Amino acid sequence: MAKGDPGASTRGRRAAPRSRKAASGDPELVQLLTPSGERIDSVTGPDGVEYRVDFTDEEYRGLYRDLVLVRKLDAEATALQRQGELGLWASLLGQEAAQVGSGRALRAQDMAFPTYREHGVLYCRGIDPIMPLGLFRGVDQGGWDPNEFKFNMYTIVIGAQTLHATGYAMGVAMDGKTGGEDGEAVIAYFGDGATSQGDVNEAFVWASVFNAPLVFFCQNNQYAISEPLERQTRVPLYRRAAGFGFPGVRVDGNDVLATYAVARHALDNARNGQGPSLIEAYTYRMGAHTTSDDPTRYRIASEVEAWQAKDPIARMKAFLEREKIADSDFFAEVDEQARREAIDLRERVLAMPNPEPVTMFDHVYPNGSPLLDEQRTQFNRYFDSFEGSAH
C-alpha cells in the first residue's frame, strides 16, 4: 500500500490542466475536486495562496486506493466492535480524504500527533493498521513508541495532544531542524469540539510566539458527539488563526487533492521556518461519534444525505473514470485488495492474546517502585492461591 511521495515527483505529469480553472462555489473553501468529480486546476484560498496539485496518473490511483482501503479497514473495525471483538471503535467514515490528503502530504521526517480517530493518517504513515486495535480491544493502552513511527500514541483527552505537538515542534526548532526541504514539520490533529479546549488555545499561543514548525489540522466534522459546530464557535474556525497571529485556511475536507495541497503547503512552510498555521478541513462525520453513540438522536437524515452526495471516494472515482485514469479492472483490484486486508486484519485481531493480569503492574515507572513491586508480589501470591491457576 505504501507508495512514494505523491506530487513531489516531476516525472510523468499529466501534460495539461484537465479542467477549467475555477474557484469553488464557496469563496472560503479551497477545493480542487468538486463533489461530482470535476477537477479544478487551481484555486486561490482565503489566505491568498494559490493551491494546485500536480499528480501522475499513478499517484491519483494511489490516493484512490488509500481512500478505499482506509474506509474498508474502518468498516471492518466497526464490524469487529459489533461482534464483541472490540470494546469500542471511533469510525473515520466520511473523513477519509481529510486524513489521506494530510497523511500523504507528510514527509518521512515529519511527526504526527493524532486524536483517537486518525486511522487513515496512521495507514498513510505506513503503519500496520492493527497497531491501534489493541487499545480498542482492551489488550493494551496504545503501546507504541511515537518516535519509532513518527506518530504519537492516540490521545483520548480532547485537545491535550496539541500541546504535545507544540512542544515537540519547539524541540525541532531548538535542534536546528527547520529550514530547507529536509526540515522537519509537525502536524497536530484535533476536531471542532477541541477548539473550545483551553489546551488547544494555549497551543495556538505557544506555537505562535515560539514560531513552532507546526500545522494545526482541525477536522471539522460538524459534531462533537451530539453538539453541533454552533455550540463551539460563532466564526469559521480557520479564522481564529488570525487572532493568534498565523495563517488559517479552510479546505474541502472531502477533497483529497485540495487537502493534500493545503497540508503540503502548510507543512513546507513550517519546515522552512515560517511558523505554524491552521487548516480547517471541512468535512462530516458520516457515522456515529463512536460505536457507543446514536446520532439519530441529534441529527436529521436529510443532513446526512446531503453530505453523502459529497462523498470523498465517489468524487475521486468519478474523476478517475471521466479522465480514464483508471478502468473497471483497477477498481475491482482495489476492492479485492481492501477485502483481503480487512480479512487479514480481522484474523489478526481475533488472534490477539489477552495480557496476563500481572502485566498490569508493568511499566508504571521507568525506574520502578519498591511499593509497587510489593503489591505485585502480593497479587501474585493471591492469584496463585487459586487451585488450578495456570499462572
- Contact residues toward another protein (CB under 8 A) are 113, 140-148, 152-153, 155, 157, 160, 162-172, 174-175, 198-199, 202-203, 205-206, 209, 362-367, 369-372
**Amino acid of residue 384:** D
Sign of CA dihedral 195, 197, 201, 206: negative
**Smallest gap from residue 236 Cβ to another protein (A):** 25
**Amino acid of residue 62:** G
The 8-class DSSP code of residue 116 comes to S
**Smallest gap from residue 155 Cβ to another protein (A):** 8
- Whether 289 sits among the annotated catalytic residues: the reply is yes
Give the C-alpha separation, 115 to 126, whole Å. 18
| Burial class, 331, CB count within 10 angstroms (exposed 0-12 / middle 13-18 / buried 19+) | middle
39, 265, 289, 315: the catalytic one is: 289
Kindly tell me which of 45 and 134 has the beta carbon lying closer to another protein.
134
Kindly tell me which of 302 and 367 has the beta carbon lying closer to another protein.
367
Cell (9 digits) for 312: 470523498
**Amino acid of residue 66:** D
Do 103 and 70 contact (CB within 8 A), yes or no?
Answer: no
Kindly tell me which of 21 and 363 has the beta carbon lying closer to another protein.
363
Do 80 and 61 contact (CB within 8 A), yes or no?
Answer: no
**Amino acid of residue 242:** A
Cell (9 digits) for 287: 457515522
Kindly tell me which of 146 and 236 has the beta carbon lying closer to another protein.
146
82, 298, 340, 363: the catalytic one is: 298
Kindly tell me which of 60 and 216 has the beta carbon lying closer to another protein.
216
**Smallest gap from residue 183 Cβ to another protein (A):** 15
**Smallest gap from residue 108 Cβ to another protein (A):** 17
Do 219 and 95 contact (CB within 8 A), yes or no?
Answer: yes
Give the C-alpha separation, 275 to 247, whole Å. 9
**Smallest gap from residue 52 Cβ to another protein (A):** 33
Cell (9 digits) for 322: 471521466
125, 137, 285, 315: the catalytic one is: 285
Give the C-alpha separation, 258 to 33, whole Å. 7
Q: Which residues are catalytic?
A: 285, 289, 298
